[in-house]
Amino acid sequence: SAVISQKPSRDICQRGTSLTIQCQVDSQVTMMFWYRQQPGQSLTLIATANQGSEATYESGFVIDKFPISRPNLTFSTLTVSNMSPEDSSIYLCSVERVGVTQYFGPGTRLTVL
Amino acid sequence: AQTVTQSQPEMSVQEAETVTLSCTYDTSENNYYLFWYKQPPSRQMILVIRQEAYKQQNATENRFSVNFQKAAKSFSLKISDSQLGDTAMYFCAFIADNYGQNFVFGPGTRLSVLP
């Protein structure tokens, strides 16, 4: 498995502002993933972040809205930009281990007023 | 495209009893992996069990076991001797064994274990 931490664990933000979420892993990993989980819903992949290259975004998600950094093999950030109430969700990062198995961080609960 | 269906939005079970959660999936791939994840109210996603499609033997992890029916594209989770700590959302997930493939999650089943 992997020990994954996320900061902040939760936040309440005003409309139009931005929030950066950090994800830290206890060991080096090649691939990190960012998911969004809207209230009462399942997980939706936002993007895949590989160290040393641009993140790969899924359909419906764009870099201007969700910029991602991956400066090294143990750390990544996701920024939610120009937030609106529709961005209120849980944001989770995950890493790939044991082949394709993914292990998840504790999540960041974001509320946008 | 692959899809994952969980037909039971909510279920409940008495403590110490056995419960089975259903999952079906649709794919044209022959090699893939299936997972069950648990998300308690704390929201941490926890891996419960994993199954490789090429393995005929059903995976087991302590009180958790699966019934994997490849031809029927069915992957159910059985929880034996249910405990209050099993109360959570359970998500079935699929990933094809091809480069660049991503996880596909089902909509989830909310399980409540009753004292």
Report pLDDT digits (tens) over A88-111. Answer: 999 999 998 777 889 999 999 999
B3-44 confidence digits (pLDDT tens): 999 999 999 999 999 999 999 999 998 899 999 999 998 878
Token pair for B92: 């079935």
A28-48 confidence digits (pLDDT tens): 998 899 999 999 899 999 999
- C-alpha separations of A17 from A22, A62, A63, A80 in Å: 17, 17, 16, 9
- Residues of chain A by 3-state class (helix, strand, coil), percent to 5: 5, 55, 45
- pLDDT of res. B64: 98
Average pLDDT taken over every residue of chain A: 94
pLDDT confidence band for A2 (50 / 70 / 90): confident
Question: Per-residue pLDDT for A51 more than 90?
Answer: no
Contact B47 A103 (CB under 8 A): yes
At residue B86, the 3 state secondary structure works out as: helix
- pLDDT of res. B79: 98
Size of interface A-B (CB pairs under 8 A): 44
Question: Per-residue pLDDT for B99 more than 80?
Answer: no
Q: Name the residue among B33, B97, B105 with its Cβ closest to that of A42.
A: B105
Contact A58 B42 (CB under 8 A): no
A85 neighbors A15 (Cβ within 8 angstroms)? yes
Residue B60, min C-alpha distance to chain A (Å) = 16
Contact A1 B50 (CB under 8 A): no
Residue of chain B minimizing CA distance to A46: B102
Average pLDDT over residues B31-59: 93
